[in-house]
Structure 1
Amino acid sequence: MKLKSLTAVVCFATLGMTGCASKYVAPEEYSGFLKSYQNLKEEKSPSGGEVMRWIKPGVDANQFTSVYVEPSQLYPKPQPTEKVPQKTLNGITTYYDQVLQTQFAKELPLASGPGPRVLVIRPAITAVSAKTKSLQPYEIIPIALIAAGVSTATGIRDQDTSIATEAAFIDGSTNEVVAQVVRKGAGAELENSSQVMSANDAKAVLDGWARDMAKSFESLKHK
């Protein structure tokens, strides 16, 4: 195996854990879900993960007395595949909603909708990219929770799953955006190229995102 091919395989096998490439979402990977990306900055999440984030200067988190999690969206419109069927996409958004509600309920009572003093969370699962050695420089598939194939000289294909999110945090009384976050992560590794991705393969990533969002809000309340 050539050294360059070996390096590519190692990079993908460790995507989201060690840095062969940037762990931050690059501007060309933004989905368009958020109204603006201009003020996003590279930050660390409470767990130490890499996020692109913006928080409105001077925002008072203590003004919010309840939280409403909007049903998470698949953005842009998903294109299910044999590898990532519609059942998996639906399972991911359903679980994302559940874990966001669970984590934020530790900070604030859950509201049934937007309103005065309600923090509205508007989340989405968005498109991501995967670098490969044998395919195009970037495979971009809408809602690309893809098993990204890395071909080697022996024809073996390592299967890594990846996922990205964008979320807006909104004042429920004014509809003003008070914070935004963009983040990506690596899901569970699939055993082979024929294995179909399930929602379970993304649950650990979704759990971590929701915990970090809730902890970030908690920290903001105490500033």
Structure 2
Amino acid sequence: MRIKYSLPLMLAATLSLAACSSTKVEPEMYTGFLHDYSVLKEHQTPEGQTVLSWVSPALKRGRYKQVYLAPSQFYPTVEPTGRIPQSTLSLVTGYYDSALKAELGRVVHLVSIPGPDTLIVRPAITRIAASTQGLQFYEWLPVTLVAAGVSTAAGWRDQDSQIATEVSFEDGSTGDVVAAVVRKGTGVPLDNDKQVMTADNVKSVLDGWAGDLAKSYGTINQ
């Protein structure tokens, strides 16, 4: 007997994969941390990732001699859960700070307080979550769609570790925003919908963000 599969089911499978593959932060995920999202445009990072960013056209190269790195924060405030406990939240912001400090420190002098000739880098983590992975290519095939649906319902499928950031770059004297970036990433997956997320799941993403920011510093100032 031939099993028939509806067009909506096949379309849903395709859209699930497309959603999983996208690295662009959609407008509905904007948090209000940044002052103006309308100026953001798609750009490629030094590592080839798509991000939304903006640099003031009035910014003069060489304007800043040093950087003040503000402590990262969750925005909006995140309440700990059984799957993402407070220990994970604290370790994530702590690791993000350390990664940014290490990478930026390679290319610019870091200071402990903002002031004249200082660029303030103000990072926020705007999303941290675990979500069921989208269907893989081989699961588009009709013979595997039913099995994939069963594993999703039972919580057996791998869970993506998702995290997003918004970073505001501000003048240390005036407080004016001179640049901004919005991006998201997917870390080490969880085995199922019961596994607790740790900072280790997203450290590689945070390392990549910090490295890209340091490499892109020349775009803003040098």
Give 1:81-160 correspondences, 5 Å limit.
81-127=81-127, 145-149=128-132, 152-154=149-151, 155=154, 156-160=156-160
Contact conserved, 2:170 with 2:178, CA < 8 A, in 1?
yes
Runs of 4+ in structure 1 deviating by more than 3 angstroms, as ranges, are 1-12, 219-222
| 2:75 maps to 1:78 | no
Contact conserved, 1:162 with 1:186, CA < 8 A, in 2?
yes
Contact conserved, 2:162 with 2:184, CA < 8 A, in 1?
yes
The amino acid that maps onto 1:44 is Q
User: What is the CA–CA distance in structure 1 between the aligned matches of 2:117 and 2:94, rounded to whole Å?
Assistant: 26
Cα pair distance change 1:219/1:54, threshold 3 Å: closer
How many residues are treated as equivalent by the alignment?
A: 198
Contact conserved, 1:5 with 1:152, CA < 8 A, in 2?
no
Deviations 1:179-215 (A, max 9, x none): 0000011011112222100011111001111111111
User: What is the CA–CA distance in structure 2 between the aligned matches of 1:62 and 1:105, rounded to whole Å?
Assistant: 17
User: What is the CA–CA distance in structure 2 between the aligned matches of 1:7 and 1:82, rounded to whole Å?
Assistant: 31
User: What is the CA–CA distance in structure 2 between the aligned matches of 1:162 and 1:194, rounded to whole Å?
Assistant: 16
SS of the aligned residue for 1:93 comes to helix
Contact conserved, 2:157 with 2:191, CA < 8 A, in 1?
no
SS of the aligned residue for 2:95 comes to helix
User: What is the CA–CA distance in structure 2 between the aligned matches of 1:24 and 1:69, rounded to whole Å?
Assistant: 25
Give 1:26-41 correspondences, 5 Å limit.
26-41=26-41
What's 1:139 paired with?
Answer: none
What's 1:142 paired with?
Answer: none
Give 1:147-186 correspondences, 5 Å limit.
147-149=130-132, 152-154=149-151, 155=154, 156-186=156-186
Deviation of the 1:28 alpha carbon = 1.2
User: What is the CA–CA distance in structure 1 between the aligned matches of 2:35 and 2:74, rounded to whole Å?
Assistant: 16
Contact conserved, 2:55 with 2:220, CA < 8 A, in 1?
no
Q: Looking at CA atoms only, which structure, 1 or 2, has the larger radius of gyration?
A: 2
User: What is the CA–CA distance in structure 2 between the aligned matches of 1:123 and 1:198, rounded to whole Å?
Assistant: 20
Gaps of 5+ in 1: 128-144
Contact conserved, 2:71 with 2:122, CA < 8 A, in 1?
yes
User: What is the CA–CA distance in structure 2 between the aligned matches of 1:101 and 1:88, rounded to whole Å?
Assistant: 20
What's 1:135 paired with?
Answer: none
User: What is the CA–CA distance in structure 1 between the aligned matches of 2:17 and 2:173, rounded to whole Å?
Assistant: 48
The structure carrying a bigger helix percent of its residues is 2
Deviations 1:140-195 (A, max 9, x none): xxxxx222135722433321110000010011011111100000110111122221
